[in-house]
Structure 1
Amino acid sequence: MPFRRNNLSRDGGTHRAWRPAHSWSADVGPGLITIASDNDPSGIATYTLAGAWYGFDLLWVCVLSYPSTVALQLIAARVAAITGRGLTSNMRQHYSPLFFYFAVARFLFANAFNIAVDILAMSAALQVFFGGSLAWLAVLSGCASLLLQWSISYARYAQAIKWLTLAMFAYVGVVMLVAVPWQTVGIRFLIPRFAWTEDYIAMLIAVLGTTVSPYLLFAQAEQEVQDEGRRGAARPQEALNRAMRKMRRDTLLRTALSNVGALFVMIAAAATLHLMQRTHSGDTVIMARVLEPLAHGYARHVLAIALIGSTLLALPPLAGSAAQAVAGSFHYGRSDRVRDKKIGWWLVVVMVIGISTAVALTLRDVEPVRALYWSALVNGMTVTPVLVLLVLLSSKREAVGNLKAHWVLRALSWVATIATAVALLAHLWLEFA
C-alpha cells in the first residue's frame, strides 16, 4: 500500500511519520480548485438547466444563500475544532441512534448517487473525444478516479488536474460576448421571482441542493479535525480564535468563488438558451450550446474538458466525506492508523457503489444531464434534517461548552434550513394536492 510522509510532530518539531496515501480523503480544504470541485457536473448541469428554463429568475438563490452557506460551514468547522471530532462522531454522541443513522444513511445515499452521476458525466465527456461504450467508459473512469484517490495525495493530484478546470472560464467568456440585460440581472440578484409551479419549485430545490452542499460541511469539519490532530495538544483559547479567524477568511473566499462560478454558468445559459429560445431536452449537446458563442464548433470539447476536470476534483471530497461519515459511525479511538484504514476501505465501498450505479444508469439509457439534475434534486430534498442536527449541535452545551456559535451564525443557518424545508413542503403540496 502506498504511503506518504507527514513531517509535523506533536511538539512542533519534525519527524518521519508514515500515513496511508488515501488518508488525504480526510484532508480536503480550501484551495485554488474551489470553483471546479464545488461546482461539479451535477452543479454545472443544474445551473445550466435553471438558466435555460427560467432565464435569470433563479440568480437570487446563489446570491442570497451566500451568507447562510458560509455560516453553515463555519458552524461545522467550529464544532469540530472545539470537540476534536467530526460531525458524524458528534452526532453519534449527542443524538439518538434513530436520528443519527438516518442522517448518515441520507448522506451516504446522496453522495453515492452524486458520485454515480458525476462518473456518468465524465464518461459522456470522454465519449466526445474517444467514442466507445458509455458503460465501459463509466467503469474505466470510475476505477481510474479510485486509483488516483488511493495512491496519490490530493495536493499532487489537484496540481495536475486543476489545469483542466480552465475550461470553466469559457462561461465567463460567453457572458462577455453575448448580449446580457445587466439591469435585469442586477434586479434578479437581490429580488426573488417565484413561480407557483411544481417544476419551478423542483428547480429551486435542486439549485439549493447544489449550493448548500452537505458534503462540504462534513469535509470542512474533518479538515479541522485533521488540522487539530497535526497540531497535537488542544490549543489555548487565543490560538483557537486565530485559527477560527483564518478559517473564516478562507470560507468567505472559497464560497464566494464557488457562487460566482455558478452565477456565470446560469447567466451564460440564460443569455444563450433561454433568451434565444433554444431549450430542448437536456443532454450534453444542449449544454454545449451555451459555449457556442465562444468555442463555436469546439463547444462540446470545451464542455467535455470542464466536466472531466470538475469530476476528477469533485469525486475525492464526495467519496472522502461519505467514507468519513460512515467510518465515524463506529468507535475507532484516536489512532490515526486505524482511522485511516477504515476511511480508506469505506472510500473503496462508496466508489464501487457509485461506479455500479453509473453503469446501471447507462444500461437504462438515462440521459446524463437528467441524472445530474436528479442528483441535485435528491440533495435538496434530503438536506434539511442534516442541517437541523448541525445547527442544534452548535448550541448544545454538552457538546461545545460555553463556546456556542454566535447567534448571527445560528440565525443565518436557520434561514437556510427553513428555506430548504419550505421549498420541499411546497413541492410536496403541488405534487399531491
Structure 2
Amino acid sequence: MRFRRNQRMNESSTAGAARRAHSWAANIGPGLVTVASDNDPSGIATYTLAGAWYGFDQLWVCVLSYPSTVALQLIAARVAAITGCGLTTNMREHYAPLFFYFAVGRFLIANTFNIAVDVLAMGLALQLLGGGSIAWLTLASGCVSLVLQWSILYERYALFLKWLTLAMFGYFGVVLLVDVPWQTVALRAFVPRMEWNEGYVTMLIAVLGTTVSPYLMFAQAEQEAQDVEEQKGTRSEALNRKMSVVRGQVLLRTGLSNAVSLCVMIAAAATLHVMRHAPVDQVVRIDRVLEPLAKGYAGHVLALALLGSALRALPPLAGSAAQAVASSLHWERGDRRDQRIAWLLVTIMVLGIATAWILAACRVEPVRTLYWSAVVNGMTVTPVLVLLVLLSSKRKAVGDLAAHWMLRALSWLATIATAAVLVAHFALEFA
C-alpha cells in the first residue's frame, strides 16, 4: 500500500487534511483487506448466529468456499494487472450500460448499508462498555470514524487499532476451553448438510454474503491497478513475479480470515447451541459466546472486537465504494480525481452514519440488523460474480494472459452456488 509522503510543510492544515483523506479513499480504501476488515461486525454477528441457531451445520461454507474466494480475488487482481484499470472501469468498457450500472449500483448500496450497520455496531460496543443511549453513541462513533479517516494517515491509525482487533482472537480461546465434538466439526466442515426450510437457506445466504464478498474483488483490483500505474513499463516477467507475490498474500490472508470465521461459528455452536440458549430465530446475546473465556467481562471483550473490526472495515468500505463511482464516471487519475473521491468518501460515510442513527433511534435490534446486512449482501452478490468471471475470459480485457481454467472453474462454482441458494430461497418463500 502506498501513501502520499510528499506533503509540503508549509501547506495549510485544511489542505493537509484533504490530502490525507485522498490517501484514505484513493489508496487505503481499495487496498486494505485484513482479517479484521474481512470479519467486520456484520460478519461476527452472522457467524455467531449461524453457530447459535444451526450448530456446526454451516461450517462447510467457510471451508469449501476458500478455493473459490481465493480464485475470485486472483482473477480480479489479474484483470487489473493486465489492463491497469479496476473492475469498475473494465466492466464499463466491456458490458452494456444496464449490466454495468446495475453492478455498480448494487456495490454502492450494499457498501453504504454495510457502513451503516458497522457504525451501529460501534454504538452498541460503546453501550456495552459504559452504557448510555445507543442512538447518540452511534452518531458520535460514526463522526469520530469520519474525522479519523479525514485527518490521520493509516500507518498512525493502525498502530492503535491492531490492539483492539486482538479481542477477536478471544474466540480461539473459547474453542480451546469448551468441550467441542471435534469429530462432528471435521465432518460438518467438509460434508455439507442442508435443511430445506427458509430459515436455514436465509442463513446460508448470509454466510455466503459475508464470506464471498464482492468488496474483496473490487479492493484487490483497485490496489493492483494503482500499482501498475505507478510501475509503467514493467516487463511481463516482472508482472508474473508480482502476481506470484499477490497469490501468496491472498492465500494467507483469506486462510486467516476464514479461520477466524470458523472459530466464531464453532465457539457459538459449542456454547449457545449445545447449551440450548439460542432457539432458531430468537434474539441472541452474542456476548455469551465469550463467557467461558472472559466470564463477567465477555461484553467488554465483544465490544473491543466490534470497535476494532468496524474501525478497520469502514475506510475500505467507503473508499472502495467511492472508487467504484469515480471509475464509473470515467474520472482521470490525478489530484483532481483524488479530491473528488475524498468528498465522495465523506458523502458515503455521512449517508451511512445517518442511516445508522435512524436505525438506532427506531430501536432496531442491532444484532439482527448486522445479520440482515449480510443477507442483503448475499442476495446481490451473484450478478457481480457473473460479470467478473465473464470478464476474465475476454481477450480484450486480459490479452493473451487469460485467467487459468482452474481459476475460472472455481469462480463459476462460487457463482453457481450463490445463484442456486438464492433460487432455493425464493422457491421456499413463495412456495
Same fold (TM over 0.5): yes
CA distance in 2, matches of 1:61, 1:128: 30
SS at match of 2:5: strand
Paired residue type of 1:62:
C
CA distance in 1, matches of 2:319, 2:208: 22
Paired residue type of 1:292:
E
| Alignment of structure 1 residues 140-289 onto 2, 5 Å | 140-231=140-231, 233-279=232-278, 286-289=285-288
Alignment equivalent of 2:340, drawn from 321, 339, 342: 342
Q: Is the 8 A contact 1:282 1:370 kept in 2?
A: no
Size of the aligned set, in residue pairs, is 418
Q: Is the 8 A contact 1:282 1:367 kept in 2?
A: no
- The corresponding residue for 2:421 is 423
Q: Is the 8 A contact 1:180 1:271 kept in 2?
A: yes
C-alpha deviation, 1:412, in angstroms: 0.4
SS at match of 2:122: helix
Q: Is the 8 A contact 2:31 2:222 kept in 1?
A: no
| Alignment of structure 1 residues 25-64 onto 2, 5 Å | 25-28=25-28, 34-64=34-64
Cα deviations across residues 15-52 of structure 1 (Å, max 9, x unaligned)? xx999212233334777x82211100000000000000
CA separation of 1:180 and 1:80: change in aligned 2, threshold 3 A? same
CA distance in 2, matches of 1:19, 1:113: 25
Q: Is the 8 A contact 1:88 1:104 kept in 2?
A: yes
Q: Which residues of structure 1 form unaligned runs of 5+? A: 8-16
Q: Is the 8 A contact 2:17 2:150 kept in 1?
A: no
C-alpha deviation, 1:134, in angstroms: 1.4
TM, length-normalised to structure 1: 0.93
How well do the aligned residues superpose, as a CA RMSD in angstroms?
1.8
Q: Is the 8 A contact 1:30 1:251 kept in 2?
A: no
C-alpha deviation, 1:430, in angstroms: 0.2
Q: Is the 8 A contact 1:135 1:363 kept in 2?
A: yes
- The corresponding residue for 1:14 is none
Alignment equivalent of 1:409, drawn from 407, 410, 415: 407
SS at match of 1:67: helix
Paired residue type of 1:391:
V
Cα deviations across residues 353-396 of structure 1 (Å, max 9, x unaligned)? 10111011112211110000000000000000000011111111
Cα deviations across residues 228-259 of structure 1 (Å, max 9, x unaligned)? 2222x131110100000000000000000000
- The corresponding residue for 1:91 is 91
Cα deviations across residues 247-302 of structure 1 (Å, max 9, x unaligned)? 0000000000000000000000000000010115666x710100001111110011
CA distance in 2, matches of 1:18, 1:315: 18
- The corresponding residue for 2:351 is 353
CA distance in 1, matches of 2:141, 2:353: 9
Q: Is the 8 A contact 1:84 1:228 kept in 2?
A: yes
Question: Are positions 1:395 and 2:406 aligned together?
Answer: no
Q: Is the 8 A contact 1:30 1:250 kept in 2?
A: no
- The corresponding residue for 2:12 is none
CA distance in 1, matches of 2:233, 2:379: 38
- The corresponding residue for 1:11 is none
Paired residue type of 2:418:
T
Q: Is the 8 A contact 2:31 2:219 kept in 1?
A: no
CA distance in 1, matches of 2:327, 2:156: 26
Q: Is the 8 A contact 1:282 1:369 kept in 2?
A: no
CA distance in 2, matches of 1:26, 1:236: 25
Q: Which residues of structure 2 form unaligned runs of 5+? A: 8-15
CA distance in 2, matches of 1:190, 1:127: 39
C-alpha deviation, 1:340, in angstroms: 1.1
SS at match of 2:150: helix
Q: Is the 8 A contact 1:4 1:18 kept in 2?
A: no
SS at match of 1:328: helix
Question: Are positions 1:373 and 2:371 aligned together?
Answer: yes
Question: Are positions 1:326 and 2:325 aligned together?
Answer: yes
CA distance in 1, matches of 2:101, 2:347: 18
Cα deviations across residues 337-366 of structure 1 (Å, max 9, x unaligned)? 122112211111110110111011112211
- State the identity %: 69
Q: Is the 8 A contact 2:128 2:299 kept in 1?
A: yes
CA distance in 2, matches of 1:20, 1:85: 22
TM, length-normalised to structure 2: 0.94
C-alpha deviation, 1:327, in angstroms: 1.2
SS at match of 1:145: helix
C-alpha deviation, 1:126, in angstroms: 0.4
- After alignment, is 147-156 or 395-404 more displaced? 147-156
CA distance in 2, matches of 1:72, 1:255: 11
CA distance in 1, matches of 2:409, 2:337: 34
Q: Is the 8 A contact 1:6 1:19 kept in 2?
A: no
CA distance in 1, matches of 2:221, 2:146: 23
C-alpha deviation, 1:77, in angstroms: 0.7
| Alignment of structure 1 residues 3-42 onto 2, 5 Å | 4-5=4-5, 20-22=19-21, 23-28=23-28, 34-42=34-42
Q: Is the 8 A contact 1:45 1:369 kept in 2?
A: yes
- The corresponding residue for 1:13 is none
SS at match of 2:245: helix
Q: Is the 8 A contact 2:18 2:150 kept in 1?
A: no
- The corresponding residue for 2:430 is 432
CA distance in 2, matches of 1:138, 1:215: 24
- The corresponding residue for 1:12 is none
Paired residue type of 1:60:
W
CA distance in 2, matches of 1:282, 1:268: 18
